[in-house]
Chains A and B, each alone.
Chain A
Amino acid sequence: MSLAFALCLLALFSLAAIGAPIAHATILGALVYLAASGQDLGIAGEQIIYGIYDSFVLLAVPLFIVAANIMNAGSISERLLQFCVALVGRFKGGLGHVNVVSSLIFSGMSGSAVADAAGIGKVIIDMMVRSGHYTRGYAAAITAASSTIGPIIPPSIPMVLYALVSDTSVGYLFLGGLLPGLLMGLMLMVMNAIISHRRGFQVDEVVPLSRLPQLTARAFPALLMPAILLYGIYGGATTPTEAAAVAAAYALLISAGLYRGVTLRNLREIMLGSVKSSASVGLVIGGALILNYVVASENVPQELAAAMQGMEVSPMTFMLSINLLLLALGCILDATTIILVIIPLFVQAAAAVGIDPIHFGVVVVVNCMIGLITPPYGVLLFVINGTTGISLREMIVEIWPFLIALLIALALIVVFPEIVLWLPQMFGYKAGG
């Protein structure tokens, strides 16, 4: 490691540690590197500008953010929930199942866990608490856990970010997430059923089956969205980025036109909220781009890859170590930061020990999403705390069984790459490592 690189890391970590914005800390770290290695300081700006300006695939990020915010503002979430209540609300722990199933459907339209928790998650928490059958902490905990599926089932903002740093196909990554997402949902429902029986939760009010067709019709335009997205991308009609635009336009169309939930006045609020999310993610991306330039000029990924090969690390050992590392980092860092700053170091090493990059990507994203609910730093817990006022303490007491359910799903995905790779291979992906 050169002195310049050591100084860069020192500046980056000390600034980030004392609470400076991550993006500014990375830009400053890069500037320190450029200065110490005698390069032109303008390179930092150049890398950031061209990085954002040249990557067309990144446009999916703001578009998915807009789509999710529109859906949350309109009555789409509420219609979906009524449909899910009619569908799975009749079982013991019914609203818990509704929670997971609605997250599964919603994740087929939105690419963000936070959007899921803040939107449809907030509505279902209110329903669960009002029913009197669940504690506030339980309602919040299962919502946080089911929201992690949002970016696993396509579309997905974190997978777009992984595609950017690893040079893999967004389309195949999205496909690879589908089965793991369903598996996570299944695990959560099993855990909910076990807890409901053990704690004797009462059965919620049952919606008569005769009303199901009507409720399905009410939710149908919204239910059509995942189908449109998947057909658009895998029917070969649109690129994932274009699909993001179609999703946002479709959400606006049904929210404003059909459901009348969005007006011109709240459209400004929706767009402003989207600007803030896009800008804060976008700037972190910019910072990560210049940091990746530094890391690449220091040959760090290559050296790590060579070291892994030299030590003859088995794919499984590598995967386990990476997962433990990411779980530990997930307790204190944000998922965006991990994917953009930490993961680029390991992509080449993973390939060198024989792990398929799509499998690696899906595992990384699932792991980072689990990191969103691990205390003490769990963004989803903060979001739910912010939108519902349920305290972190109540949530954290109830989160553990769901965390275990998700970890089992993660372990299965790690051990059986087919769960990820089967679907992409059906669509012509040639797995390698």
Chain B
Amino acid sequence: MQGGLRWLRARADDVAVLLLSAMFVAFVVQVTSRYVFNHPLGWTLEACVTLWLWTVLWGSAFCLRHDEHVRFDMLYHAAGRPLRRVFAGAAALAIMVGFAVALPATWDFVSFLTIKKSATLRIPLAYVFGIYLIFMLATIVLFGRRLLQVLRSGPGKDHDVHEGAP
């Protein structure tokens, strides 16, 4: 089970690396064709913003560990272990419930866009924006899992650079 998860995680990282690399390449193609060949391309621009949207949401959903997010963790680290457990549990529960409640409305918004196509690549916007639904689902599952962990065995140890701080 753990091995399988680790394998999935590594493949998710691969996808993210491909997304960002593709964005980088598309941008270089765009700059080259515009300035070297004096022939601006439309599709590269759209490809870049689409890949950027996907990199952010895919990366946030599957590649960032909890402690790799931007967080204000001073109070959290100042708290004792029992209180940390409450903090971590409450945060996970709130995020899980909040995202779950917003999911149907967001689904409606995205699926409505099946009829609308992107400007140059003519991809239905529902596919372009569908990554947000994936991000929401992943967030619900991940924070649900975190909640279970916290309830079962406490908040776990953050990989923290300021361990041993004064």
Interface residues of A (CB under 8 A from B): 11, 15-24, 27-28, 31-32, 35, 40-42, 44-46, 48-49, 52-54, 56, 58-59, 62-63, 66, 237-238, 242, 245-246, 248-249, 268, 271-272, 274-276, 278-286, 332-334, 336-337, 376-377, 382-383, 385-386, 391-393, 396
Contacts and interface: CB of A to CB of B under 8 A. Distances in A.
B5 interface: no
A185 B143 CA distance: 44
How many B residues touch the partner, as a band?
Answer: 35 or more
Contacts of A393: 166
Central interface residue in B16, B19, B76, B128, by most chain A CB within 10 Å: B16
B37 to A, nearest CB: 15
Interface in B31-72: 31, 35, 45, 48-50, 52-53, 55-60, 63-64, 66, 68-72
A384 to B, nearest CB: 9
Contact of B60 (A23, A249, A332): A23
A19 B76 contact: yes
A39 B132 CA distance: 20
Given A276-B59, A279-B64, A41 B101 contact: yes
B36 to A, nearest CB: 11
A410 B53 CA distance: 36
Contacts of A24: 69, 95, 139
Q: Is the interface of B mostly helix, strand, loop or mixed?
A: helix
7 contacts: A18-B88, A23-B69, A31-B101, A59-B23, A66-B24, A334-B70, A386-B161
B164 interface: yes
B70 A23 contact: yes
B74 interface: yes
Contacts of B16: 272, 275, 279
Interface string B94-120: 110011011011101110000000000
A388 to B, nearest CB: 11
A333 B72 CA distance: 7
B123 interface: no
Contacts of A19: 71-73, 75-76, 87-88, 91
Given A46-B109, A59-B23, A279-B56, 14 more contacts: A18-B91, A19-B73, A19-B76, A19-B88, A20-B95, A24-B139, A28-B94, A42-B105, A45-B106, A56-B45, A249-B28, A282-B56, A337-B70, A391-B166
Q: Is the interface of A mostly helix, strand, loop or mixed?
A: helix
Contacts of B94: 11, 15, 20, 28
Contact of A280 (B13, B28, B64): B64
Nearest to A18: B87
B162 interface: yes
Contacts of A337: 70, 72
Given A46-B109, A383-B161, A396 B166 contact: yes
Contacts of B13: 272, 275
A334 B105 CA distance: 32
- The 7 A-B residue pairs whose C-beta atoms are closest, nearest first, are A279-B59, A282-B56, A19-B76, A21-B69, A386-B161, A42-B109, A42-B105
A58 B145 CA distance: 32
Given A42-B106, A49-B132, A377-B74, A392 B162 contact: yes
Central interface residue in A20, A285, A386, A396, by most chain B CB within 10 Å: A20
B52 A44 contact: no
A391 B161 CA distance: 10
A134 B110 CA distance: 59
B75 A245 contact: no
Contacts of A268: 17
A333 B132 CA distance: 27
A248 to B, nearest CB: 6
Interface string B122-166: 000000110010001001000000000000000000000110111
A223 to B, nearest CB: 22
Contacts of A278: 20, 55-56, 59
A155 to B, nearest CB: 15
Nearest to B143: A24
B86 to A, nearest CB: 8
A265 to B, nearest CB: 12
A45 B102 contact: yes
A336 B71 CA distance: 11
B8 interface: no
B102 A283 contact: no
B158 to A, nearest CB: 9
Nearest to B15: A275
B59 A281 contact: no
Contacts of A23: 60, 69-70
